[in-house]
Amino acid sequence: MEQRVAIITGAAHGIGLATCCRLAAEGVSVVLTDIAPDACLNEASKLSDQGFECLSLLHDVADESSWSKVIDTVTERYGQIDILVNNAGIGTLLDIEQESEAGWNEMLSVNSKSVWLGIKAVAPHMVTRRQGTTANVSSIFGAIGGFGQSAAYHASKGAVTAITRNAAIRYAGDNIRINAVSPGFISVVREEKTIQEAGSDMADGIISRTPMGRWGQAAEAASVINFLVSSDASYVTGVDLFVDGGWMAAWRLRGCLAFVLVHST
């Protein structure tokens, strides 16, 4: 992983920051981007103090011109882009009837349009060098209906998973791998705050329905991202890898049991 350059979006906190720390520890030069420049710069300074090569940039992932500025700055400084981690995202608990058109548009812009823009901006540089890899952070809620809430969030993450598979096929011949990581419930500030707003029933339900009986840690998701962008995953592309403590396995089992019960009565 040494002498590689990675761009990580939404890097000021959570999974994005954990991924920066992990990749930096592997010898990767990391570019932290975020809509919150002060927080991003603060984290980059901490990494620099530890002797890691890093750069902090203001970045609106839903804006194509912002992507252009980031790419120009990175290529001017490092001359290459080897890894892209599309991590930036937002979330709400609003259901179909509660969600507004403005909220829907913002969710899809930040969570899924940004992934398209990121791949579109970075791919030409990877194609020229015939190497590179991308990890898109999706969600288990891109594959299931969850609790019947967060309609826009589910739609946006489903789009992330779909474009991951599409892009993986598109760029496989250029020796570029593109994969997705779909976390379950990870102990980060944004997610914990959202669950707290929903009430104790949802919080208790999350733990009771997770076979491993606990929340995941951001570093655990970052470890999976690190694997997917490393040479250890050289024959892996187009996958959506769940990091969920067994949630999806249990969810499918519950669906099968419900089907059996309905059709046995």
Query: Is-catalytic flag, 153?
Result: yes
Token pair recorded at residue 99: 């969600």
Sign of the torsion formed by the C-alpha atoms of 234, 236, 242 and 245 = negative
**Burial category of 15 from C-beta neighbours within 10 Å (exposed 0-12, middle 13-18, buried 19 and up):** buried
> Tell me, what DSSP letter sits at residue 216?
B
∠ Cα 131 135 137 (to 5°):
165
C-alpha closest to that of 118 among 175, 80, 164: 164
Q: Of 78, 153, 171, 235, which residue is the catalytic one?
A: 153
Alpha helices in the chain (DSSP H): 14-25, 37-49, 64-78, 101-108, 114-129, 151-171, 189-198, 200-208, 218-229, 247-264
Please tell me the distance from the alpha carbon of residue 176 to that of residue 113, in angstroms, as a whole number: 20
Residue 199 phi, psi dihedral angles, 5° rounding: 110, 165
The structure tokens 């990767």 sit at: 28
Q: Which residues are catalytic?
A: 153
